[in-house]
Amino acid sequence: MFLSTHAKHFQMSIHPDQRYLEGLLQNDTLLVQEIYQRFAGKIKHHILQHQGTEDDAADIFQESIIDVYHQAKHKQLQLTCPFEPFFLLICKRKWLNELKKRGRQPVTKRLDDLYDVGEDVFAAAEQVVKEEAQAGMYLAQFERLGEKCREILRLSLTGEAQEKIAAAMGVTYGYLRKKKSECMATLLSYIQAQKI
């Protein structure tokens, strides 16, 4: 019960990664360097994989740092989740918007729709906090599943064709579909029990 109430009201404690925001606000060179060292490579990889260049990656990274700085300075942003998923989301969102402007974006995936809040990055940040709270609860329930169920659901989330997943696991396509459906039903029942 505590978990669902906790998730509903999002009264979460400040995450230790708040130090990154403090570092940006205080222009702490070491912390700013740490942000670049830890996250620039991931952003560059993502953008290169999604129709971008190294220059695009550098621009998006820099613009996102500035956005986070402004949120911390003018909107007193406080992190209740790790900095990494929060920051990566801002960068990915910004790149998605850039691709849309360039007219090179394929069909938007459902996850992106959740964060379709235009250029208002602070709204996206608030959404991340809510999603992180839910994700923590979902992950806890996911871990309750048996090993086979977890494997099936993980592989299904990769976007790989179900037939290939079945072959890789040494099961029939029909079995995989049935088992995946059972696993999802079990996971949903665990999640619903937490929300009551």
Positions of the chain with pLDDT under 70: 1-12, 104-136, 195-196
Q: What is the pLDDT of residue 29?
A: 86
Question: Could you tell me the pTM of the whole model?
Answer: 0.49
Q: What is the pLDDT of residue 124?
A: 55
CA distance 139 to 123: 24
Q: What is the pLDDT of residue 100?
A: 83
Confirm if 61 and 40 have CB atoms less than 8 A apart.
yes
The DSSP string of the chain is -HHHHHHHHT--PPPTTHHHHHHHHTT-HHHHHHHHHHHHHHHHHHHHHTT--HHHHHHHHHHHHHHHHHHHHHS----SS-HHHHHHHHHHHHHHHHHHHHT---SPPHHHHHT--TT-HHHHHHHHHHHHHHHHHHHHHHTTS-HHHHHHHHHHTTT--HHHHHHHHTS-HHHHHHHHHHHHHHHHHHHHHHH-
Q: What is the pLDDT of residue 128?
A: 59
Helix (H, G, I), strand (E, B) or coil at 1: coil
